[in-house]
Amino acid sequence: MQREDLFEAMARSIIEGEADAAADLARQAIEAGLDPLEAIDHGFVPGIDHVGREFSLENMFLPELVLAGEAMKAAIAVLEPEMQRTGAEREIHGTVVLAAAHGDIHDIGKSLVGTMLSASGFRVFDLGVDVPVEAVVEKVREVNANLVGVSALLTTTMFGQREVIEALIAAGIRDRVKVMVGGAPVTPEWAAEIGADGFGEDAARAVSLARELVGA
């Protein structure tokens, strides 16, 4: 298979949400001696970008976005060991700490944001669900993050987003980290009220916002 045909097939595997096909194409790329970074940047990333755009235009829907994210994860899982072996490093746009607000146990949307951010060139540290604000601040310091994303799927846990921002201020590190918030009950007005830097309505928009906030 020619390089351009391989890249096209890679993008299509993501668009169609075919994790097995994506992983197989990643293996084919390695066997053909293709630079794993080229495979990601010219093959798989255009696919996830296409899905993000179509999702934003409501031409694709959440199940398709989830499948595309899983396909992207499958491809990266195959290519990462090869990148480590060859010493290849992707350009990193930023370092992100993700968490579901304290008291919130909803994980799917946040995990999808993490997958898409990782695919888009961000280093992602996902702390999981029901995360205490202290754990977020500690991780930001540990990894020198410049982005924090806090999700909340319940009106009762939205206040955890405010608490994270207040904790970052109290720790004296708010000025070096951008904060994104999201989740079903979250609105742009709420984001502005609590002093967040942006609101991501869904995973695709969260990636666009992250890029905007770090100037990528």
pLDDT for residue 94 is more than 90? yes
State the chain's mean pLDDT as an integer: 93
Say yes or no: 106 and 191 in one domain. Answer: yes
Say yes or no: 40 and 136 in one domain. Answer: no
Tens of pLDDT, residues 15-47? 999 999 999 999 999 999 999 989 998 999 899
Backbone region of residue 199 per phi and psi (left: phi > 0; alpha: psi in -120 to 50; beta: other values): beta
Q: Residue 125: give its domain's CATH number.
A: 3.40.50.280
CA distance 66 to 215: 26
Q: Tell me, what's the pLDDT at 22?
A: 97
Residue type, 5: D
Phi, psi of 59 (to 5 degrees): -90, -15
CA distance 83 to 130: 33
The structure tokens 């029901």 sit at 130
Say yes or no: 74 and 102 in one domain. Answer: no
pLDDT for residue 209 is more than 80? yes
pLDDT for residue 98 is more than 90? yes
Of 33, 57, 86, the domain-final residue:
86
DSSP 3-state of 177: coil
Mean pLDDT value across residues 53-80: 90
Of 17, 52, 86, the domain-final residue:
86
Q: Lowest-confidence range among 7-16, 62-71, 133-142, 147-156?
A: 62-71
Mean pLDDT value across residues 46-51: 91
Q: Tell me, what's the pLDDT at 62?
A: 83
DSSP 3-state of 1: coil
Say yes or no: 52 and 71 in one domain. Answer: yes
Say yes or no: 126 and 175 in one domain. Answer: yes
Model confidence at 88, in pLDDT bands (50, 70, 90)? confident
The total of structural domains in the chain comes to: 2
Say yes or no: 49 and 113 in one domain. Answer: no
Query: Quick one: 125 exposed, middle or buried, by C-beta within 10 A (0-12, 13-18, 19+)?
Result: middle
Q: Tell me, what's the pLDDT at 183?
A: 92
Of 82 and 180, the structure prediction assigns the larger pLDDT to 180
CA distance 116 to 55: 13
Alpha-carbon distances, residue 213 vs 117, 130, 153, 169, 180 (angstroms) = 13, 25, 23, 18, 9
Tens of pLDDT, residues 159-200? 999 999 999 999 999 999 999 999 989 999 999 999 999 999
Say yes or no: 173 and 196 in one domain. Answer: yes
Say yes or no: 18 and 74 in one domain. Answer: yes
Q: Tell me, what's the pLDDT at 176?
A: 96
Say yes or no: 202 and 102 in one domain. Answer: yes
> 0.85 exceeded by the pTM?
no
CB proximity list for 166: less than 8 A, separation 6 or greater: 133
Mean pLDDT value across residues 155-159: 95
Of 29, 51, 86, the domain-final residue:
86
Mean pLDDT value across residues 132-143: 98
Say yes or no: 140 and 185 in one domain. Answer: yes
- Reading the block at residue 173, the tokens are 């590190």
Say yes or no: 71 and 131 in one domain. Answer: no
Of 119 and 174, the structure prediction assigns the larger pLDDT to 174
Q: Lowest-confidence range among 75-79, 132-136, 167-171?
A: 75-79
Closest CA to 112 of 93, 126, 130: 126
CA distance 196 to 101: 14
Mean pLDDT value across residues 58-83: 90
Q: Residue 51: give its domain's CATH number.
A: 1.10.1240.10
Give residue 68's domain range: 3-86
Q: Tell me, what's the pLDDT at 13?
A: 98
Say yes or no: 117 and 205 in one domain. Answer: yes
Residues 117 and 206 sit within 8 Å (Cβ to Cβ):
yes
